[in-house]
Structures are given as C-alpha cells and as structure tokens.
Structure 1
Amino acid sequence: MSKAATVYDVADRAGVSIATVSRVLRSPDAVRPVTRERVLDAVSALGYVPSGSARGLAERRTGVLGLYFPGFDAAEEAPALDVLANIAGATPPFTIVQDETDAEGEHPSMLFLDEVLRGAELEAWKQGFVLMVGVGRHDPDRSTVRDMAGRVDGLVVLARSVPDEVLARLALRIPVVVLSGPSRGDSYDHVTVSNAEAMAELTRRVLDQTGDTPPVFLAGPDDSPDGAERWEGFSHAISEAGIRIDEVVVLRGDFTRASGRRAAEQLISDGLPTALMAANDQMALGALDAFRSAGIAVPEDLIVTGFDGIEAAALSRPRLTTVRQPMIELGRAAVQVLARRLERPDADPVAVRLPLEIVVRESSLRPS
C-alpha cells in the first residue's frame, strides 16, 4: 500500500504554496481559475484526501453539532436486557405468542422528539456535520450537556431542559440554539412554533360544540415552555368566550400516554366533562385508551383533542383531532440556524417561528 499523499505533495506538484492548496479546497471561487485547475489536477493525480482531523485542529472545529433533550422516554420502565446471555445460543431462535391485548394502546409510536431528531440529523448531514445526541436522564447537575459542550461546535437544546445559569456558561464557549419556547430577553437563537395561536383556535372550535361548558384541560409538566404557551392559548379562548378561567378543571400529566390514561380514569370516576383538551397527543391517546376500555364513546360522550400531530394520532380509534407541528422541519431549522451562527458568529440573534396546522378528525366531530 503506497504512502498517502500530503498537502505538501499537492503543493509541490502544482507549483503553489500549501496555503493556496487549502484555499482551493475550502473556497475554490477565491482562487484564479488557472491556479485552481492546476491544484485540482494535482489532487486528482495524487489521490489526495484532506485530513478532517487536521483541518479541524487548524480551524478549532470538530465538525460535530450537539442536540440535547431531557429524558422523556421513561427509560426506567424499560425491561432488563442482557444480549451477552444469548452468545452461547442458550435461548431458542424464536417463540410464538398469542397477542390478546389491544395493540394500539400498548405499542410505542413515533414521538415528537423522535421526529425532531430525524430532521436535525438530516440537516446536519446536508450541512456537512455529524450530529451528537445527548439525553439528560437523571442528570441533576447537567453533566451530560456539559460533556457534550466540550465535544461539539454548537448545541441545540430543548427550551428549559438546561438551567439558565448553565446555558449561559455554555454559550460563552459555543453557539447555542434554543428549540421550542420563545426568547425571554436572552441572546440565543430560537426556533419555535405558534403554540398559543393554534391552541386558541382549536379551543374556539371545541367551544362551538360544547357551548358554555368549558373543556377540561390536561396540562403537561409545569416547566414545559410549549405547555405554558398552549395553556395561554387555551385560557385566552376560554376568557374570550366569557367563561371564567377559574371554572376550568385542570389536570396535570407528564406528556406520556400513561399519564393520559390516569387522567381519563380520574374523569371517569369524578364525572365526564363535555370535552378533554390535552397539551400533547400522547396524553390524548392515553385518554382514548381509558375511555374505550370503559365503554365511553368519543366524541358522542365527550370530545378529545391533542397537540403535536404524531403518526399515532391518525391511527387511533377514533382518529384524534390535533394540532400538527412541523416536527422534522423544526429539527432541520434548528440545525440551519446553528450552522448560520457558526458562519456568522457576530450576527444578531434570530427567532424562527414555524406555522402549525389544525387537523380536525373524528374525535371532535359530534354527529349533527
């Protein structure tokens, strides 16, 4: 195997300096055509491949972007798994089971953060970066995101997943883009959606069918900026309809399907409202599970709505009325904004706000 060509070999063959070789490879339009062609011919003839690690050291860049999420996936509920136990072939290659449960209610579905991750990975690849993902499970001192910050060129974080003081220190070292949640007078770039406006309009549509009786609102975690904006939109529409906000029953969930089931079971025990509006689809789907198990008809007995537009919302029984977020586009936009910040570190902060779609389905359509 012959020795790999170096930048010095290319420069010698083309009769130029190594700085010129570097300029041709990084900014070819900045070099005269005759010189550029001579360098590229030398690169081709020698089979020269630039060293990514050496280039990264010279530019103080890693070529890696970070994406940090909180631990929303209930990892503590995952069963134990020891794949090494199967090396000796002690277990049979397959088993046959009779599935007698309601698969729709139990199987996992594509979540909001999964779709955002897909979009971020796609855009990172298109922009020439590698994406590093960190999940802050049981991470009170935020050691995960601190470690990530030392290994990436820039960081996308879900709003309020990192304490303000920690985020401020990280932003002194690398660019930070905040995903979901509006700017609070900070100097970060933000990528968000019109949560409040869309929830207000959805609430008006529900009130058109329920009249003066307010829906129950199933809120998410109290530290969720998206949840806070959705409550803002809901409460605005309630007040606009002349209903006192203190008449609204508010239940608290954690954005999981299980918490939606628990909330619905409480309503079944206490008495059904005219409608249940959940701050995300997973909780709404959990409520549908519980209502169906109890023989309660949706939307005949009560209306149910969600928010996010995950795939499972279109497959539920009945299909779920929701607000569809551009989840993949959110991930892509966050990476685009971060890449722009790396190229223009002194530019003013930007706030990208993506539109939403209200998707009306059977769970909110009562027979006329």
Structure 2
Amino acid sequence: MSFAFNNPQRISTATRERILAVAEELGYTPNTLGRMLQAGTTNSIGVLLPQRLAQILENPYYSRFLMGAGQICDREGYTLLLTPPLQDSVLKAIPYAAVDGFIVCGLEIDRGEVAELDRRGIPFVLIDSDRHEGAPHVEVDDRGGAREVARYLLELGHRRIAVLSIGPAPEATGRGPLGRRLAGIGDALAEAGLTMSDVTLAEVPATRAEGYRATKALAPGKPTAILALSDVLAYGAVDALQELGISVPDDVSVTGFDDLAESAWFRPRLTTVRQPIVTKGRMAADFLISAIRGEDQHPHQTLGTSLIVRDSAAKRL
C-alpha cells in the first residue's frame, strides 16, 4: 500500500488502482503529518505564545498580528500553529509542536526557551523581545512612541499621571518592549523636570476588565491623566471612569498604545500610539520562512510608531 501512495512508479497502474479502490472502501487516508515528519518538514510554523490561549485570544492585538502572519502563510503554502504554554511552561510546549520554526512572542532572550531553540537548531524569529544575534528580530520603536504620548500629556498640562502597564513589567532599563515604553515615559518626564517616582504605576494583565479594575483602584487618588500601555487597558479605564461619573477627557484624559481598529470609533475616540501590528506579523512570518529555507538571514528590523491624536485627551484647565 505504501508504494501506491508514495512510489506509484514502482508498481503497475492496474495494481495501484486496485489498492486505491480498496483503500477508499476502507476509508483509509495516508498520514500526511507522519510523512512530513519522516521527511523532516511539516510546512507549518508555530507562534510561541507567552500566555494561555484564552488570554491571548482576549487581546485584539494578537488577532491583528496573526492576520499579518497568516497572510504570508497563505502566500507561501504554510499552516500556522498557535503554541501556548504547556502546564504553564513555554519551554515544555516546544517539543510537542510539529513545526519547522517558531515566531517567538514577548519572551526575554535569557530565558530557557531561546536557549532550547538554539540547542535544537530550530529556526526562530523574535517579536516584542530583546535582540538575539543568532536570530532575526522584529520590534517597533516602543521607547519613541511612549515618549511621544507622555510628552503630549505633559504639554497639555498634566502632572498627576497614572500609568497602566502590562504587568509584571521590568524596570525602566530598556529591556523588552515594556521596559522600553517605561523608559520612553521616563525620557518625557525628565524633560519636564519629573521622574518616574512622580507617576502612579499599576501593573495589570492586558485585558479590558483589568484596565477597569485598576482604574477603579486609582480613582481615589484622582489622576488627571491615565497613560495605558495598551489600547485594551485604556478601554477598561474609560469604562471605569464613565461608571464613576468622571468625564473623559474633561475631568481625566486617557491614552493608549497600539491603535486597534476599535480605537477610531470608541467613545471618546482614543488618542493612542499607532504601531504597525499587521506589518509586524507579516514581517515575522516572512523572515521565519526565509530562515527555514536557508535563505539569507534578515537583519534586526525596527518599525516606526506615530501618535494618533483623537478625542480622549484634553488640556488640563
């Protein structure tokens, strides 16, 4: 039967037709994955995720990112496998993913996962991480984007600012995207003669519900502006303020980071930092497939950000 499916030239046409007829009658189909693994290729790339699948799917950022990666997979004939932590361990998930390479999202390079991929010789591309000389890397100008939005709030006259960070966040030393964003906020504060100790920092998971809860906890301190490091946290902040009868932006200004599609029609329309999420996904998949095929390795790539001014932030009177 193996010859009939894999090496038809080694048997007669009549014999092959009889075998295929019997196979169809029995409902037999060849194990495509097994054949791919035997050949050392799966035509599939994995997205190694830092959080459980339910948390990932709750964040619209990943929908946009996966859209971009999926566009390249469709073009190149690859499938896309989401690989969340196994038993709360990203490292444990790696051996169970039948893929030719990984897009690694949001992991620090000194963690065991990157070392394990290096040890196994599996091609990978780093996203939202620090640079690793052994692999392509795609990031956005997190520091510049955060500096620009923080500077904007300061220029509007805000001095009592609360920062909603995706926690747990590193110190503002430039490590990882959150560290770079906090460093950018620190840059803008320094220009105004302030430091990070002059702002209130809350570290919460990147969900709308957590943005709501964190803002409810901040309310007694009455910040005049909330700078959220993701749009979904900003949405939750506005939900909480409106429920408390606090006007946005008349009483409290709110800004985000991402510029998700909803931000343009959210009420009030959200002032935020735009990062090219779909482009980042496309570039990550393109770089990875090139690495899998043994083509020239791509350099580290930094994509630009821009401040999108809408209606959710106003001058402090």
Question: TM-score normalized by structure 1?
Answer: 0.70
Task: Pick from 302, 313, 316 the counterpart of residue 266 of structure 2.
Answer: 316
Residues 164 and 229, structure 2, Cα contact 8 Å, conserved in 1: yes
User: SS at the partner of 1:236?
Assistant: helix
Deviation sequence 1:101-160 (CA, Å, 0-9, x none): xxxxxxx97610111111111111111211111222642363223311xx1111111021
Residue 25 of structure 2 corresponds to which residue in structure 1? none
Q: Indicate how the Cα distance of structure 1 residues 161 and 256 shifts in structure 2: closer, same or farther if over 3 A, else same.
A: farther
Structure 1 residue aligned with 2:198: 247
Contact conserved, 1:210 with 1:274, CA < 8 A, in 2?
no
Unaligned runs of 5+ in 2: 11-30, 171-175
Greater shift, 256-265 or 131-140, is seen at: 131-140
Tell me which residue corresponds to 1:219. 165
CA distance in 2, matches of 1:73, 1:55: 29
Cα distance in structure 1, aligned partners of 2:161 and 2:73: 41
Give the drift of 1:303: 0.8
Count of residues in correspondence between the two structures: 287
Q: 1:7 to 1:256 in 2, by over 3 A?
A: same
- Residue matched to 1:261: 212
Deviates more, 1:174-183 or 1:358-367: 358-367
Cα distance in 1 between the residues matched to 2:88 and 2:112: 15
Mapped partners of 2:223, 2:233: distance in 1: 16
1:1-368 to 2 correspondence within 5 Å?
8=9, 56=36, 60-71=40-51, 74=54, 111-136=60-85, 138-140=87-89, 142-148=91-97, 151-160=98-107, 164-171=111-118, 172-183=120-131, 185-211=132-158, 213-223=159-169, 225-268=176-219, 270-344=220-294, 347=296, 350-366=299-315
Matched position secondary structure for 1:291: helix
Cα distance in structure 2, aligned partners of 1:301 and 1:189: 45
Residue deviations 1:84-116 (CA, integer Å, cap 9, x gap)? xxxxxxxxxxxxxxxxxxxxxxxx976101111
Deviation per CA, 1:167-188, whole angstroms, max 9, x where unpaired?
21223331011111231x5422
Secondary structure of the equivalent of 1:146?
helix
Opposite residue 112 of structure 1, the aligned amino acid is Y
> Which amino acid letter does the alignment assign opposite residue 217 of structure 1?
V
Provide Cα deviations, 1:21-67, integer angstroms capped at 9, x if missing partner.
Answer: xxxxxxxxxxxxxxxxxxxxxxxxxxxxxx98798568622211111
Q: Contact 2:86 / 2:92 at 8 angstroms: preserved in 1?
A: no
Runs of 5+ unmatched residues, structure 1: 10-50, 76-107
2:95, 2:7 → 1: CA distance?
36
Aligned to 2:19: none
Q: Describe the shift of the 1:235–1:7 C-alpha distance in structure 2 as closer, same or farther (beyond 3 A).
A: farther
Q: Secondary structure at the match of 2:49?
A: strand
Aligned-residue sequence identity (percent) comes to 29
Would you say the 8 A contact 2:161–2:199 is kept in 1? yes
> CA shift at 1:208, angstroms?
0.7
- Calculate the aligned-residue CA RMSD, in Å: 2.9
The equivalent residue for 1:91 is none
User: Which has the higher Rg, Structure 1 or Structure 2?
Assistant: 1
Match of 1:364, SS?
A: coil
> Would the aligned equivalents of 1:160 and 1:223 in 2 still touch at CA under 8 Å?
no
* 1:97 counterpart residue number: none
3-state SS in 2 of match to 1:277: strand
Q: Secondary structure at the match of 2:312?
A: helix
> Please, what TM-score do these two structures have when normalized by structure 2?
0.81
